[in-house]
Amino acid sequence: MGLAAALILASVPAARAEPARSVEAASSAGNAAPVPLPPPRPRGPNGSGPASPEASRAPNAPTPPRSPEPHQGPASVGAAEDPTTVPADEKACRERLTQLGVRYHPLPPIMEGECGAPWPLRVSALSDTLALAPSITTTCPIAEALTRWTFEAVAPAASRELESRPKQIAVGTSYECRGRNRQQGAKLSEHAFGDAVDIMGFQFDAGKTMQVGPLSAETPEGRFQAAIRGEACRYFTTVLGPGSDESHKDHLHLDLKSRAKGFRLCQ
């Protein structure tokens, strides 16, 4: 089922100024709490690769997920980060992460052909009580947007609709050097710059789990997913999910792609 795309004019959060690149339309998966994963693909240079998805999924009652493959991170050929060269805006962003309680550590610059990120981070948790599974390789602006969205939108929606608190976020792709839809010759994905993250599902307290998918709006899970998806466009410049297209039927793609006049793409 397709949803109409809405172009929303708003100020862009801390995003990289980039030459125009096409919007992301693909994902991979991995998750410490079991969730269904996207279709299998060849392993890329970063050593990661998803498992096959569940054959079917009931829209009103998400099935418990299964164990993911271990996250192995991207290829990185840069020297270790020199703290004296870190730009002021990057330092300020990292200070905000620390104040928010995010668990992270700097990685060497990623240089992988046309892909890469000059100041990547490995982020393992958004707080002492909310882990990422697996940990992600990303940029500071994405980590900050993900954290603020989680605590300002996801947590309240979980309390309201599910009477639960999130304790773990199941993550698919973060950094990965590839083109859109993993098509040969396609323009590079935002994932190729550490500028995107795919959310596969959530684990809540008391052992509850929920996978992203085509959920009924009549269920608490469906209302929760609709709420956090709508709110995501306040924190990210691209939000794609179930109904956007076949590639995003089982996850939320979130990125900070910079567009002219601050336009955002939310589907």
How many CA atoms does the CB half-sphere of 180 hold within 13 Å?
7
Domain holding 254: CATH number?
Answer: 3.30.1380
Residue 108 structural domain: 22-38+88-266
**Is residue 61 assigned to a domain?**
no
**Is residue 67 assigned to a domain?**
no
Q: Going residue by residue through the chain, which has 267 residues, state the pLDDT in tens, using 9 for 90 and above.
A: 443 333 333 333 444 444 334 334 333 333 344 444 444 444 443 434 333 333 333 344 444 443 343 344 555 556 778 788 999 999 999 999 999 999 999 999 999 999 999 999 999 999 999 999 999 999 999 999 999 999 999 999 999 999 999 999 999 999 999 887 667 777 999 999 999 999 999 999 988 999 999 999 999 999 999 999 999 999 999 999 999 888 889 999 999 998 888 889 898
Distances (CA, A) of 215 to 1, 177, 210, 211, 226: 12, 31, 10, 9, 9
The pLDDT score that the predictor gives to residue 246 is 84
Which residue, among 107, 120, 153, 147, has the nearest Cα to 131 in the 3D structure?
A: 147
End-to-end CA, the chain: 12
Residue 131 amino acid letter: A
Sign of CA dihedral 14, 16, 19, 24: negative
**Is residue 144 assigned to a domain?**
yes
User: Which of helix, strand or coil describes residue 131?
Assistant: strand
The pLDDT score that the predictor gives to residue 255 is 96
Residue 174 amino acid letter: S
**Is residue 64 assigned to a domain?**
no
The pLDDT score that the predictor gives to residue 138 is 98
Please identify which residue in the block is written with the tokens 């054959």: 55
Query: In the chain, where does DSSP find H-type helix?
Result: 88-100, 140-149, 155-157, 220-232
**Is residue 120 assigned to a domain?**
yes
**Is residue 69 assigned to a domain?**
no
Both structure tokens of 3: 């949803």
**Is residue 202 assigned to a domain?**
yes
The pLDDT score that the predictor gives to residue 17 is 40
Count how many domains the chain has.
1
User: Which of helix, strand or coil describes residue 220?
Assistant: helix
CA gap 89, 8 in Å, rounded: 26
Does residue 261 come out as left (phi exceeding 0), alpha (psi in the -120 to 50 range) or beta?
A: left
**Is residue 51 assigned to a domain?**
no
The pLDDT score that the predictor gives to residue 100 is 97
Distances (CA, A) of 113 to 28, 46, 68, 69, 256: 20, 12, 28, 25, 21
